[in-house]
Amino acid sequence: MTYRTYRTHATYTPARLLLLLWLILDSSAREPIPAPPKVETQTKTVRARDLAIPFDGIPGKFNAITDVPGVEVGYTTLISGEGKLEVGKGPVRTGVTAILPRGREAMNDPVFAGYFSLNGNGEMTGTAWVEERGFLEGPIVLTNTHSVGVARDAVIAWRLSHGGPDAEGFAWSLPLVAETWDGWLNDVDGFHVRPEHVAHAIESVHSGAIEEGSVGGGTGIICYEFKGGTGTASRVVSVAGIGDPGSSASPHPFIIGVLVQANCGRRPQLTIRGLEVGKKILGSVYKRETGSIIIVVATDAPLLPHQLKRLARRASLGLARTGSVSGDGSGDLFIAFSTANPHAADTKPPIRTIETMPNDLMDPLFTATVEATEEAIINALVDNHDMIGRDNHKVEALPHDRLRALFQKHNHSPN
């Protein structure tokens, strides 16, 4: 399989044409690459709830960000090589995650969004435009720290090759691409993420159940000095007073979905449902915290940009429940979006009617965001496996048997 998906468009400026020509020639000069390798897990898929960890709240059908109608997620996972690091050759333990708020069929319909930085030692491109305009346009892409540039350029090229200019004839984009550092396990300076890998992640998006752990942008990362990665969770939320006027039916349910790329924290900090797990399972990887976390919050509740910024802030509390103090070296960057109000960014008609909800009714959404963020982080740890990377660095996954035993001993588990 090859991933050469770029073509030029008649409205390109000379600078954009040169960029796309470079991407085409650079991609074409390589040998065709196979489909990204599948991560072979050591055990069947096990999520945190399978270990009877007593989370609060009611999850959606898949307990994933894809429970929010329209949201689709895709991955490119890159795993190759072993042994001593040779920069540019590997070992490679990295990848790309793509999140499409309205799916492939409505990629060019922006969503209302809000951004929040808990600690800024990281990168999330495009947020100045989100803050200014209140909209998120196109996909969200997550990768490693030194691949942000190529991923950003590849998103622009992919969108232009598949969508062309907007209604006014402009062909441009300010993509949202975020990162976490995977250099303990991955040849992060080898620049192994290429435009075709970004294209593959976008083209492979789907709804329903999605993979967690060492996949996509979360392939080579570490969380609380256990093997970290991608995690997701969701909550079904009933908001009192919202429904058909005069109806005796239950309040209208909304969905909060969260996806994390969890690469944060020190071992002693790890707390699961109030139990200090990290202090009871000894071990270390780093001398000091060098990680980050990206949190994406999705909902179908009709929220405006300032309300979504409030929602993004609440992800901080879900992160705190797991023990993080958001250290100086951590890039803790959060984005929240709403799939309600389709076509809100359209220029015709010039006056539009927008649905929203009062701030006074948002508490259930705040609660759901905290709960889903907490569970998504724990899922990233539980639904995972040991990994050996560059220079034979080994990071162990959170051991399920030890976790079960700890919860049983402290009577935290219902089983």
φ/ψ of 277, rounded to 5, equals -65, -40
Q: Is 209 exposed, middle or buried (0-12, 13-18, 19+ CB in 10 A)?
A: middle
Show Cβ contacts of residue 370 under 8 Å, excluding neighbours closer than 6 positions: 314, 315, 317, 318, 321
Q: Answer yes or no: are the C-beta atoms of 270 and 224 closer than 8 Å.
A: yes
> Which residues does 49 contact at the CB level (< 8 Å), separation at least 6?
55, 59, 63, 375
Q: Is 330 a catalytic residue?
A: yes
Q: How many residues does the chain have?
A: 415
Q: Which two tokens stand for residue 41?
A: 């897990």
Question: Percentage helix, strand, coil, to 5, in the chain?
Answer: 30, 20, 50
Q: Are 233 and 372 within 8 A, CB to CB?
A: yes
- 3-state SS, residue 170: coil
* Catalytic one of 109, 300, 332, 383: 332
**Active-site entry in 161, 234, 330, 338:** 330
CA distance 337 to 304: 9
* Token pair for 286: 């780093």
Helix 14-28 to helix 148-163 angle (10° resolution) is: 110
The CA distances from residue 260 to 103, 144, 179, in Å, are 19, 14, 11
The DSSP code sequence of 114-126 is EEEEEEESS-BTT
Cβ–Cβ under 8 Å, residues 281 and 256? no
Cβ pair 382, 400 in contact under 8 A: yes
- The structure tokens listed for 267 are 């071992």
Map residue 210 onto helix, strand or coil: coil
Catalytic pick among 27, 147, 234, 292: 292
> Which residues are tagged catalytic?
292, 330, 332
